[in-house]
Structure 1
Amino acid sequence: MMTEQTEVLIKKYSENGITTLTLNQPERRNSLSMAMLEALSAELESVSDDADTRVVVIAAAGQVFCAGHDLREIRDQLDSHEFQLKLFNQCSKVMQQIVNLPKPVIARVAGVATAAGCQLVASCDLAVAADTARFATPGVNIGLFCSTPMVALSRNVSRKQAMEMLLTGEMVGALKAEQIGLVNRVVDEQVLDETVYRLAATIAGKSGHTLKIGKEAFYQQLEMGLAEAYDFTSEVMAKNLQAADAHEGICAFLDKRKPEWKDE
């Protein structure tokens, strides 16, 4: 039975090990205001320690996934460097929470994802987009280069593709986003939910302990040189083999039965 807990800015649904966090301010194009960022941060912190959550889906209400920062809020605080720095630091904190979350995070993208909204998509471990979705880092068009979105974008797509998006500010269609590695899959909007939750369910069926180990190691090794990465991941695998779920998984495979995970 699906449970629903509605926050002011974030809707939270949990079912079968999958928790969906929905940006819920469509009238403001789900912009990442300070309040929205703080609400999302709190939900990510909560779900991080939730043993019943195995996979997180980030979605959005309305026709726009996320239009980036709230420009009205920024305009009202143009003279406050302190506020601006706090805002961008809070946004950076949320993006790092997603990367550091010990559970896989999937972005469900319908509509437009621009600037920090595009950053949000790029920060998720996986992303599934409707074929009508569009992406952009258009800060250059208003004199505010998308410097923080650049961090996530440049770690997901090639340098030249990232630079083209950053320098032109032009919209990128869903199929191009898939080609350059910004999203994993593009599907008809009518089957978007089916595709997202089938993928989430597949992942949720794995050992939570193993997923945690693997996700953490994936991002750590990306920052290493080749030899260091192999040394590091060899140690990770040797340690992983000592886990109860590794023993269970290997035995279940050899015995040709379904494993019974203990998440340890």
Structure 2
Amino acid sequence: MNAISALDVPPLRRSDADGVATLVLDRPSARNALCDATIALLHETLDAIAADRAVRCVVLAAEGPAFCAGHDLKEMTARRADPDRGQAYFEDLMRRCSAMMQAIVALPQPVIAAVEGVATAAGCQLVATCDLAVAGENARFATPGVHIGLFCSTPMVALSRNLSRKHAMEMLLTGEPTSAAEAHRMGLVNRVVPAGTALETAQAFARSIAGRSTLTIATGKRAFYAQAEMGLAEAYDYAARVMAQNMMARDAEEGINAFVEKRPPLWEDR
């Protein structure tokens, strides 16, 4: 029996409308913790979406009062009974979760987190990994591993690439919760909206992006993350090549012509 079939109810729901795929974490009784099944199903779904030309943007939300409480500590603790006290399992778990996070970054379509309630540890990592994030004003963010003797090292990777070093270190070292307003000020989320409206706002955000050329969006998203890992001169050389190649695309030609002719563009996504 695999991790997904081990649960009676799939821990993730998907619905599609207007070019937007909405994925909803659906283990509210476990505060949507990232158990083995959730990680596997989320990664599998992202892989399917990557090849789905009908999907132009993705929204990631959650059922219940918590967005995601991080890894499933009960599931992890049960592996202490393994002959190696769980070390092989823990290493494999972190590799699988890291691969799923990287699948979000590699996805051609933008991913927008819609956060209500708490997003802690790997849940906070999930928000930081998404390309954009909308938070209800009741949302709280934390990397509280230090309180239980477990530094949030993998969430640190996403946080340190989204926040200033001082802000990331403050969250990681103190483990204290950060309000939605403070998360916005720090750059962890793009917008703060009235509680209960994060999903609606994120979907409207997504529909706006879905109206753009998918080729252009995929090109830009890929280039954004690639250049961010480069030195300044290398980044400019790379971005110049990407932009010149983008200019040769049919959608760039159409978009420029439409602007000059003062008409809406007709995207062909090529």
Q: The TM-score by the shorter chain falls in which range?
A: over 0.9
> What TM-score do the two structures reach when normalised by structure 2?
0.94
Match of 1:27 in 2: 29
Match of 1:12 in 2: 14
Q: How far did 1:254 drift?
A: 0.5
Q: How far did 1:80 drift?
A: 1.6
**1:77 alignment partner, SS class:** helix
- Distance in 2 separating the partners of 1:116 and 1:191: 23
Q: How far did 1:192 drift?
A: 2.4
Aligned-pair identity in percent equals 55
Q: How far did 1:198 drift?
A: 1.6
Q: 1:117 aligns with which of 123, 142, 160?
A: 123
For the pair 1:206 / 2:205, whether they are aligned, the reply is no
Where do 5+ consecutive residues of structure 2 fail to align? 1-8
Match of 1:234 in 2: 240
Q: How far did 1:34 drift?
A: 1.0
Where do 5+ consecutive residues of structure 1 fail to align? 1-6
- Distance in 2 separating the partners of 1:91 and 1:195: 27
Matches within 5 A, 1:53-132: 53-78=55-80, 79-132=85-138
Match of 1:222 in 2: 228
Q: How far did 1:74 drift?
A: 1.0
For the pair 1:148 / 2:150, whether they are aligned, the reply is no
- Distance in 1 separating the partners of 2:196 and 2:26: 20
Cα deviation, 1:81-117, whole Å, max 9, x if unaligned, reads 1110111111100110000100100000000000000
Greater alpha carbon shift after TM alignment, 192-201 vs 48-57: 192-201
Say whether the 8 Å CA contact 2:115–2:199 is kept in structure 1: no
Cα deviation, 1:50-87, whole Å, max 9, x if unaligned, reads 00000000110000000000000111113121110111
Q: How far did 1:174 drift?
A: 0.3
Q: How far did 1:195 drift?
A: 1.7
Give the AA of the match of 1:236: V
Give the AA of the match of 2:250: A
For the pair 1:169 / 2:171, whether they are aligned, the reply is no
Cα deviation, 1:178-210, whole Å, max 9, x if unaligned, reads 000000000102432332122111100000000
Say whether the 8 Å CA contact 2:61–2:199 is kept in structure 1: no
Cα deviation, 1:31-52, whole Å, max 9, x if unaligned, reads 0011110010000001110000
> What TM-score do the two structures reach when normalised by structure 1?
0.96
Where in structure 1 do 4 or more consecutive aligned residues deviate above 2 Å?
A: 190-194
